[in-house]
Structure 1
């Protein structure tokens, strides 16, 4: 990517590459008064202007990439920007925890109705706090997701957290940690953590260069299964990274099954078992290690339709 001569040109480039249909809605105000805690007074404050927020993400993230572009420090821009995007993610998680606490308190109040004025005031206050925190979380997630999309456009890789899930109200593809996904399924928690839909599993080795071959196969699968959830083996390079980039570009929810290192040499095989327990409707397996060979064997034994790719199937790198 060439260096841009003005912020306007950089902003225009990003807006051509990134669709953000839900961005403005994330900044909608649900009440006339806002309150973030019982220690604060209700205030008639506004949410940030969504277009200003979008422009700020473009300026903050784009400027870092543009400063280092075509210099000997270019490779470090990705690390710096990842930290910026992750700061929005961490802040959104903290808001969500406070929102959950307020929601629990609201539920307790609803179950212990009291006709007194004190009860009515506390109920109204808790509702206002819960709503304000939800508004703030949705806006913070929208900024995180838009900044993450700029990161993807610049690097070709989706923004991924070190651990845990990155969920939102749907601006971009959610990336869900397997532990959150399985726990949410058991407890019937929020849809963001336990999305419904047919599961397609994906796994492959780290030594892979032909991304077009995998994107074509994933596009074909997505065409047949438009509401698919992609479950991957969560490696940060090679086939899985290509699949994560595809999912981010197509808005497909991704569940990442990382290795449980405490299980030692059995970790990869137990992960394969977890993937098959999801009752996948399709599998894409690329040649890698014995882990991928084991997964392909299990897929065949379970009569799951699949695509299998050997390293020799790759086209010669340019």
Structure 2
């Protein structure tokens, strides 16, 4: 017997519940609450076991890998669903009215729907696990590669390469309204309370100016992680162009700026050094942030250099 009851047929149905009820399967699906509880429990138990032990130094890697496992499973099942839909389209195209082909169409339809339900279930587990990880550690989980579609609790998180491909494809369409991209680069050491306050001020201003904005950044530690947290809390779509050190070596952080500028941002926000003097970097201001600001100036894109609040008077 299942540990969780079948979804009741009362009240407003969520997208997950509605899709699950379309399946011709006598077995019940876990409830959304049960799936979310699983995601929370997995991360909480993992952190409880690893924390304050010799494995604590590897806590972030292990936790992010566990969350990523749910993400990878969802992607694999989604690919299976795509194949099932391709098969279904072929069957519908070749349908001759026979009973045999009709049965095959019904089976292919059920297979695609079942996969869609499984993907939604795994995404709920993943999103809850990621939220619990952020609450417990202050760290933000992002996939090593690939795009995360928007769910009922999170905004979309788009890999930079996926965004560029979609951007280029859309520009070839007859009507292209354009994407409202706001780009952000900042120093890794700009992660103090002072920095966070001014970064959030700048991002809130940008969102007020462009309500449909998407935030494009590189996922560098420190200040850019703070910006990612802001976007997740505000349900603002994220475009992450991650540095590829294997391919581009030391130039990788600067090559990220190529991708950000290719998205044609309406505004570029930068913070090249921490606003807290105690967090100054002996190497000087963060080069990639300075570079993005310079490139935005050359392209005629609006630029905002984040600075400390001016004292009153």
Asked if Structure 1 and Structure 2 have the same fold, meaning a TM-score greater than 0.5 normalized by the shorter chain, the answer is yes
* Residue-by-residue CA offset, 1:191-245 (whole Å, 9 max, x unaligned): xxxxx7411101122221222221221122122222211111222x122112112
Is contact 1:29–1:47 with CA below 8 Å preserved after alignment?
no
Q: 1:66 & 1:137 partners in 2: Cα distance?
A: 28
Residue among 208, 214, 237 paired with 1:229 = 214
Structure 1 unmatched ranges of 5 or more: 1-23, 35-41, 189-195
Residue among 7, 14, 19 paired with 1:25 = 14
* Residue-by-residue CA offset, 1:104-135 (whole Å, 9 max, x unaligned): 22222233332222221111111111111111
- Please give the TM-score of this superposition, normalised by the length of structure 2: 0.77
What's the RMSD between the two structures over aligned residues?
2.8
How far off is 1:101 after superposition?
0.9
How far off is 1:264 after superposition?
4.6
* Residue-by-residue CA offset, 1:54-110 (whole Å, 9 max, x unaligned): 223333322333456677765554443323222211111111111111122222223
Is 114-123 or 254-263 further displaced after alignment?
Answer: 254-263
Q: 1:281 & 1:302 partners in 2: Cα distance?
A: 11
Residue among 156, 161, 165 paired with 2:143 = 161
Distance 1:223 1:72, change over 3 A: farther
Within-5 A mapping of 1:16-55: 25=14, 27-30=16-19, 34=23, 43-55=25-37
Secondary structure in structure 1 of the residue aligned to 2:71: helix
What does residue 198 of structure 2 align with?
213
What does residue 94 of structure 2 align with?
112
What does residue 247 of structure 1 align with?
231
Q: 2:50 & 2:287 partners in 1: Cα distance?
A: 40
* Residue-by-residue CA offset, 1:146-189 (whole Å, 9 max, x unaligned): 1111111112222112222222434213322112222344556x
How far off is 1:31 after superposition?
5.7
Q: 2:165 & 2:26 partners in 1: Cα distance?
A: 39
Is contact 2:20–2:29 with CA below 8 Å preserved after alignment?
no
Structure 2 unmatched ranges of 5 or more: 1-12, 171-177, 273-284
Secondary structure in structure 1 of the residue aligned to 2:14: helix
Is contact 1:175–1:256 with CA below 8 Å preserved after alignment?
yes
Distance 1:113 1:73, change over 3 A: closer
Q: How many residues align?
A: 275
- Please give the TM-score of this superposition, normalised by the length of structure 1: 0.76
Secondary structure in structure 2 of the residue aligned to 1:283: strand
* Residue-by-residue CA offset, 1:230-274 (whole Å, 9 max, x unaligned): 111222x12211211211222211111123442456544443233
Within-5 A mapping of 1:46-195: 46-67=28-49, 76-186=58-168
Distance 1:170 1:202, change over 3 A: farther
Secondary structure in structure 1 of the residue aligned to 2:89: helix
Is contact 1:173–1:252 with CA below 8 Å preserved after alignment?
yes
Residue among 289, 295, 299 paired with 1:302 = 299
